[in-house]
Amino acid sequence: MRTRILTTVVLLLLIVSGARSQNAENAAINDQVKIFTTPEMRNLTEVWIAKYLQTNTDFNFELTPVSRAEVKDKVAGNQSIGIVMQQADVSSTIGEMWQLPLGREVVVTVFNKANPLAKELTETGVSANELATVFQNNDKNRGTLADSKNRENLNFYVLDEPEVKLSVAKFLEVDPTEISTLEALSQDKFLKAVQSDINAIGFCRLSVITNLEQKDFAENIALLPIDRNKNGRLDYYENIYASSEQFERSVWIGKYPHSMIYNIYAVSSAFPENAEINNFLSWLTSSGQVLVAQNGYTELVHSEKQSNLEKLTPPVLMAEYESASTGSAAFFSIFVAVLGLLLVFVIVRYFIRKQKAKAPLLNKTRYVKLLNEASLDFPNGLYFDKTHTWVFMEEGGRVKMGVDDFISNVTGNYTRLIMKSPGEKVKRMEPVVTLIRKGKQITLNSPVSGTIKEINESLVADPFMINNEPYGEGWVYKIEPSNWLRETQFLKMGRSYREWIIGEFSRLKDFLACSLNIMNLEEGKPAFQEGGELMLHPLKDLDPRVWEDFQNYFINTADTH
């Protein structure tokens, strides 16, 4: 009986493959792709297309410049796309269209690192209101910004570009004509002015002060931190200015004032099912990003590129056939395909159930709706670390390492792991394992130093074991420690760990409340139940941006509170 079923499935799949091959032959001719671009995006779009044609010589396109108001009407059907630049805090008709971010122009406030008040400014930040007050005051002294008696005058400079001037006016909430009173400079002159003037405050594009090769800021120039909530200090979620990489990621997450950001989008009336358009957009998201930076804009961060590529993946459902002449054949192909897939699904489900019936039962999973101290285990005899990992020294002198169940109860079930290999050396507080859930990931640091002697290979096939048995079969590594006696002084056991975890719950609530509020994420509401209690797995279905935030401002700062 089983042989007959499998034979039938194979025949059905062969029929479906034949139908698909026939359809592929009919679509071999490349249709013309219509690309509409707003004036400010024309140069970059032309550069993109010229580079793309070097490796895709059969790309058939027509480029037409249009105004932003015309984009929605012009970009219609599955043969056209638009390339536009839109200020992040401005609503427009493109908000109703399918969008794919391709880069951005970020306007930043900078100052000279040698400023005598540099330390105070980087610790407290400056609010938009404070900047506007100093800017509009005839007595533009730097002491006003840092609550200091220093009365030396500040010198304001602005990059001589319309988008920069408009953004600064909106950010400071002043009339655009007031910005015209600033000394407007070309890119080279702007850099020299800020680098040589210790009293300089400047407004420019991020790319102007970013060294593309070193991925760092220009010499003697720093970003002026913005105190967004105007409380006179830089809170942990506002402290995003240490490096260009951290800042660019934070801009994507939503931590920077929207009035200072222009996003570059590819827009379409719907998901681009057209293969030519889809391939072009995939190239823009990957190889084409180099040209974004080279042309004075800020390219996408790594996670954003990955998110784009996932967004460009065609839906699993079969596309509708538009040609009336092949209507009956298409219907038959779809019917056969659905029937075949349904049969495969039934057979696979049958064998999975059969295997599960034979498999030994894992430890019983706790079904807990709320996330609190009562939902966690606190095994005796284990050392715990602020990296949310645990260690246990076995009789032979090796240390077994795993992940505590606080982290797994926050993130939800894992779908994949990235582990180091046996023989690799690890150091305390350096990355040791990456936990992945449906493309979203966090990385934990090692609690001890040493050499990895063994990895839990079972986790490769079943990463869920970390969630189900974190202190048993879900262990991750066996390590030969190199500094065990000293490093155990930094670890916790028993009551000490329990008290620390209570503090972690408070910190988690603060993190979720602040991060979700800043990003205005409505989907974050299910993280809390009425009364402020945390739901189990609060990060499980949240946006990848929240996971990045969780990595940077919760996990990476666990040893600082």
Closest by Cα among 367, 364, 368, 366 to 533: 368
Beta pairing partners, 38: none
Least confident of 212-221, 271-280, 330-339: 330-339
pLDDT digits (tens, 9 = 90+) for 142-178: 556 655 555 577 889 999 998 899 999 999 988 888 8
* DSSP category for residue 326: G
Structure tokens at 448: 């001890």
Other beta carbons within 10 angstroms of residue 556's beta carbon come to 14
Least confident of 214-223, 336-345, 467-476: 336-345
Give the pLDDT of residue 378. Answer: 85
DSSP string over 224-280: --B-TT-SSS--TTT---SSHHHHHHHHHHT-S-GGGEEEEEEEESS----HHHHHH
Closest by Cα among 30, 37, 26 to 60: 30
Beta pairing partners, 426: 450
Helix, strand, or coil here: 392?
strand
Helix, strand, or coil here: 160?
coil
Q: Specify whether the backbone of 211 is left (phi greater than 0), alpha (psi in -120 to 50) or beta.
A: beta
Gap between the Cα atoms of 73 and 195, Å rounded? 46
Give the pLDDT of residue 545. Answer: 86
- For 1-134, strand residue ranges (E) read 33-37, 61-65, 80-87, 98-112
Structure tokens at 27: 């679509």
pLDDT digits (tens, 9 = 90+) for 76-132: 888 899 999 987 656 666 777 899 999 999 999 999 999 888 888 888 889 888 888
In angstroms, how far is CA 152 from the centroid of its own chain? 41
Helix, strand, or coil here: 542?
coil
More confident of the two residues 217 and 151: 217
Structure tokens at 398: 């090796």
> Which of 104-108, 244-248, 554-558 is predicted most confidently?
104-108
Give the pLDDT of residue 69. Answer: 86
| Cβ atoms of 391 and 447 closer than 8 Å | yes
Gap between the Cα atoms of 235 and 231, Å rounded? 9
Residue 431: partners with Cβ closer than 8 Å, 6 or more residues away: 443, 444, 445, 446
Helix, strand, or coil here: 405?
helix
Q: What is the mean pLDDT of residues 240-246?
A: 85
Q: Provide the sign of the torsion angle of the four alpha carbons 60, 64, 68, 73, taken in this order.
A: negative
Other beta carbons within 10 angstroms of residue 92's beta carbon come to 14
Give the pLDDT of residue 470. Answer: 94
| Cβ atoms of 51 and 288 closer than 8 Å | yes
Q: What is the mean pLDDT of residues 241-262?
A: 84
Gap between the Cα atoms of 330 and 30, Å rounded? 21
Closest by Cα among 26, 2, 10 to 330: 26
Give the pLDDT of residue 512. Answer: 84
SS (H, E, C) 191-219: HHHHHHCCCEEEEEEHHHHEECCCCEECC
Closest by Cα among 308, 307, 290 to 299: 290
Taking CA atoms, 172 is separated from 247, 354, 512, in Å, by 20, 66, 29
Taking 60 as the threshold, does the pLDDT of residue 361 lie above it?
A: no
